[in-house]
């Protein structure tokens, strides 16, 4: 479920790469290669320090793309999402989530990917609330290809059919927008 959502997010990201995204990927590649080359040169003097550098390079290789994508999205494509309503229909097994996205960036967006997760509603805070977002009851990704000018709002709705859960629910919405 979540793996498919992450896959769609990265495929959309790579489809709409911009100049700064390319520069970030070049920086990532050069830094990774520099760490590996440095580890090879140090291997003759200190094998333990070289092993530590290789482990550091592997951790960098795993974590840096996520951090780079997050940082570029917050700096280049800022936006705010306001959840308006989560309606659980009484006569059918459906849930309707309504929200709006405000473009706070300096450029218009032409495509937005919305990822909506239905989670259990709880009064828990901190780590317990974070765990609830990691295990959603249902999730859905929607790609909206519509121009959203700077300072404008885009209203959107997500429908979940065949949703069977008797408890209280809430929604968690994430969006990625590209020019």
Q: Name residue, tokens 């290669």.
A: 33
Per the model's pLDDT, the better-predicted residue between 93 and 124 turns out to be: 93
- 109 exposed, middle or buried (CB, 10 Å; 0-12, 13-18, 19+)? buried
| Domains in the chain: boundaries | 2-76, 79-178
Residue pair 103/151 in contact (Cβ under 8 Å)? The answer is: yes
Token pair belonging to 150 = 């700077």
pLDDT at 136 over 70: yes
Higher pLDDT, 147 or 18: 147
β-strands 169-178, 111-120: how paired?
A: antiparallel
DSSP E strand boundaries for 9-125: 79-88, 95-103, 111-120
Question: Looking at domain 79-178, which of 2.60.40.1620, 3.40.50.1000, 3.40.190.290, 1.10.10.10 is its CATH number?
Answer: 2.60.40.1620
101 by Cβ neighbours in 10 Å (0-12 / 13-18 / 19+) ranks as buried
| pLDDT score, position 2 | 66
Take residue 104 and report the two structure tokens written for it. 């706070």
Mean pLDDT of the chain: 88
């Amino acid at each position: 479920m979540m793996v498919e959502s992450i896959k769609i997010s990265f495929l959309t990201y790579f489809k709409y790469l911009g100049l700064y995204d390319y520069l970030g990927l070049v920086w990532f590649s050069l830094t990774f290669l520099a760490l590996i080359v440095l580890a090879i040169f140090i291997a003759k003097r200190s094998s333990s320090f070289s092993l530590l550098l290789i482990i550091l390079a592997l951790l960098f290789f795993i974590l840096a793309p996520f951090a780079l994508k997050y940082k570029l999205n917050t700096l280049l494509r800022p936006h705010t999402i306001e959840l308006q309503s989560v309606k659980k229909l009484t006569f059918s097994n459906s849930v309707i989530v309504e929200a709006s996205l405000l473009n706070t960036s300096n450029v218009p967006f032409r495509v937005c990917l919305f990822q909506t997760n239905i989670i259990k509603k709880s009064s828990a805070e901190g780590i317990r609330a974070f765990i609830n977002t990691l295990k959603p009851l249902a999730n859905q990704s929607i790609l909206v290809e519509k121009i959203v000018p700077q300072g404008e709002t885009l209203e959107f709705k997500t429908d979940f059919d065949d949703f069977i859960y008797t408890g209280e629910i809430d929604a968690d919405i994430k969006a990625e927008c590209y020019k």
